[in-house]
Amino acid sequence: MTTANPIPATENEAWGFFGGMKDNAELAWPLAISAISDATGEPLESVRVFLDSRHGRHFSDDVRNQMLVGKGIEQAIQGAVNSGCVGAGVKPASTSRHKSGASDAVTAACNFGLRAQREGRPAHGQRRSVQGLAEDGF
């Protein structure tokens, strides 16, 4: 992806996509954000919210499964984008595809992240910081 916007860093190193990718996280993070943004047309920050959520953890499972059958990390990420994110709580689209081949499930999950971002709340499954909870009066 060629963009003037910097890739946003994860805000959830222990869980989500980053935590799920373990030793491959540093390499996989920018590749996944770029691939999902390119495929769905969603802004990078919305993709970050998606990847930092539980949906991102499921997406990492899809990527790792592709790697287990011998695909390199870039091919595995692209394969997971094209097959859809089953763990996103949305059935993968069987015939409906975006111009790049991304399934509606990946787009729906990214839209979920975008809605959470607009509403100023964490995406479902995204951990709140202790400071954030304290600010909310908990």
H/E/C letters for each residue in 6-61? Answer: CCCCCCCCCCHHHHHHHHHHHHHHHHHHHHHHHHHCCCHHHHHHHHHCHHHHHHHH
Residue 97, beta-bridge partner list: 103
pLDDT per position as a tens digit, 75-95: 999 999 988 653 343 333 333
CA pair distance 97, 5, nearest whole angstrom: 26
Q: Structural domain boundaries of the chain? A: 16-135
Residue whose token pair is 């509403």: 119
More reliable by pLDDT, 110 or 127: 110
**Is pLDDT of 59 > 80?**
yes
CA torsion through residues 27, 52, 11, 43, sign:
positive
pLDDT at residue number 67:
96
pLDDT per position as a tens digit, 93-125: 333 344 444 555 555 655 555 555 555 555 544
pTM of the model as a whole: 0.64
Mean residue pLDDT of the chain comes to 74
